[in-house]
Amino acid sequence: MYFAGIDVGSVASKAVILDGEENIVDYAVMPGLPSEESAKKIYDDLLEGSGLSASSVNYIVATGYGRVNVSFADKQCTEILCHSVGVNSLLPSVRTVIDIGGQDSKAIKISPAGRVVNFIMNDKCAAGTGRFLEVMEGVLKLELSRWGEMASRAKNTAAISSVCTVFAETEVISKVAQNVPVEEIIAGLCESIAMRVAQMAKRLPVEKDVCLTGGVARNMGVVNKLSECLEMPLLVSERPQITGALGAALIALRNYRDHA
């Protein structure tokens, strides 16, 4: 028996397959728009990679911004619920989940059982989301996968004061023109997004332990700056970008078990 979670996000699709013992059999991450095509492709790729047939998967849960496009799913769940369930299974001590994705960010208070108690969301302003980093990746022509290591080499943090992504872009260009080391600009950009997200999360308020999930958690520059802004350590799971898909797969398994 196998169970699948498919997270069709705003900039990337993620999928996880679990066996009946809640072990991850395989997973996949694929950039792309939240379309029906992305949903089908990631699931087909995952089945092919794991050598499983569609008929061996007993239950599928879809989540993410494009979850309505997973026409073959048995159930749809919100990302808020799926991230909470995913984090709770990996890091049971966590009471606050902060998820920074491509298009929004959320702070979620969860119970010891992984239930959602309360949440705050920013989907209005790009500055506190992965979109901000993607715009700056384009400006600096430096892949986000290198940012964590580069930020760690910065001797100083270049202050990026603009609240708006478009003005921050102008500020970055002017810092490049003033020969500010690129590592320091990157550290400043990581600090800028961290400050916005911390401001939002503090309204929850933040209760320990705190975990950062979503694709932006792959950027250690942001992880370290957010930890500084919140003045507490942050837990990050091994593959933070698939946490929502993992939560969806766990819900699939538990739903199937409860109704079997």
Binding stretches for ligand ADP (CB under 6 A)? 9-12, 64, 101-103, 130, 133-134, 144-145, 214-216, 218-219, 241
Least gap, CB of 100 to ligand ADP (angstroms): 7
Q: Return the closest-CA partner of residue 60 out of 239, 256, 259.
A: 256
Of the pair 6, 253, the CB lying nearest ligand ADP is at: 6
Burial of 51 (0-12, 13-18, 19+ CB in 10 A): exposed
Least gap, CB of 2 to ligand ADP (angstroms): 23
Least gap, CB of 112 to ligand ADP (angstroms): 25
Please give the Cα distance from 146 to 2 (Å, whole number): 35
Of the pair 64, 247, the CB lying nearest ligand ADP is at: 64
Strands (E), the chain: 2-8, 12-19, 24-31, 57-63, 75-76, 96-100, 105-110, 116-122, 210-213
Least gap, CB of 134 to ligand ADP (angstroms): 5
**Is the CA virtual torsion 102, 104, 109, 110 positive or negative?**
negative
Least gap, CB of 162 to ligand ADP (angstroms): 18
Contact by Cβ (8 Å): 176, 182: yes
Residue 210 tokens read as 């705190």
Please give the Cα distance from 241 to 38 (Å, whole number): 16
Of the pair 130, 247, the CB lying nearest ligand ADP is at: 130
Contact by Cβ (8 Å): 123, 159: no
Contact by Cβ (8 Å): 72, 57: no
Of the pair 10, 78, the CB lying nearest ligand ADP is at: 10
Least gap, CB of 178 to ligand ADP (angstroms): 25
Of the pair 2, 108, the CB lying nearest ligand ADP is at: 108
Of the pair 2, 214, the CB lying nearest ligand ADP is at: 214
Consecutive H or E run containing 135: helix 130-140
Least gap, CB of 111 to ligand ADP (angstroms): 23
Please give the Cα distance from 54 to 238 (Å, whole number): 27
Of the pair 114, 215, the CB lying nearest ligand ADP is at: 215
